[in-house]
Copies of this chain bind each other. A is one copy, B any other.
């Protein structure tokens, strides 16, 4: 069933985005009494269309497995790669995406452009969340710098091409059932030695992802896939 995230509720009616009403009427071509699922405060409701207003029929018992809470710290990338990471990471259950300025990233985002980008990125994650039937939309934060990551609580690690001993499997096995993770993915060309050293000072652990050479946009998928796998019963 088609699922939408809603921004508010008036009595028994859920208030969706304009674009969602358009999607329901023009794209999905729905009719009177057609049913959709609406997510409100992470709860899922079975709803019915009435003159293209959305009314609650019943609350459904659909919960998403949201542990651990995963924050991806990623470089600024070309639009296509960025969109791709946002969409796939959402599908694979990411909690938070933190675009971060990194030395070897060639992409710059000016302050004027940042707000536009954030709106666009959030829209991509909302749509991906609806398609993959999530009950929460990942948070895309404003653009950060590494110095913002002092004193974060949780398991913190860097995907490092320098690290040879400690690999992701050892780390995830050690921190099984942790409830919070911060993961740094470097740009093409990797993090600079200085960046990596500073992150280590802040308590981030460098880990190898194994012998395969992965593109930047593949790394978040690889990580989220194995974290999902790790947490499977």
Contact = CB atoms under 8 A, between A and B. Distances in A.
Interface of A: 64-65, 88, 91-93, 131-133, 167-169, 210-215, 218, 221-222, 225-226, 228-229, 232-233
Given A215-B91, A222-B92, A168 B132 contact: no
Contacts of A210: 228-229, 232
Contacts of A133: 213
A213 B169 contact: no
A169 B232 contact: yes
Given A168-B229, A169-B232, A91 B221 contact: no
Contact of A218 (B64, B88, B167): B88
Q: How many copies does the complex hold?
A: 2
A133 B213 CA distance: 7
Nearest to A208: B232
Contacts of A65: 211
A231 to B, nearest CB: 9
Contacts of A222: 92, 221, 225, 228
Given A226-B226, A229-B229, 18 more contacts: A65-B211, A88-B221, A91-B213, A92-B214, A92-B218, A92-B222, A93-B212, A131-B215, A132-B212, A132-B215, A169-B233, A210-B229, A212-B228, A222-B225, A225-B225, A225-B226, A225-B229, A226-B229
A78 to B, nearest CB: 16
Nearest to A211: B65
A128 to B, nearest CB: 9
Contacts of A168: 229, 232
B221 A225 contact: yes
A111 B233 CA distance: 44
A173 to B, nearest CB: 10
Contacts of A131: 213, 215
A211 B92 CA distance: 10
22 contacts: A65-B211, A88-B221, A91-B214, A91-B215, A91-B218, A92-B212, A92-B218, A131-B215, A132-B212, A132-B214, A132-B215, A133-B213, A167-B232, A168-B232, A210-B228, A221-B221, A221-B222, A221-B225, A222-B225, A222-B228, A225-B225, A229-B229
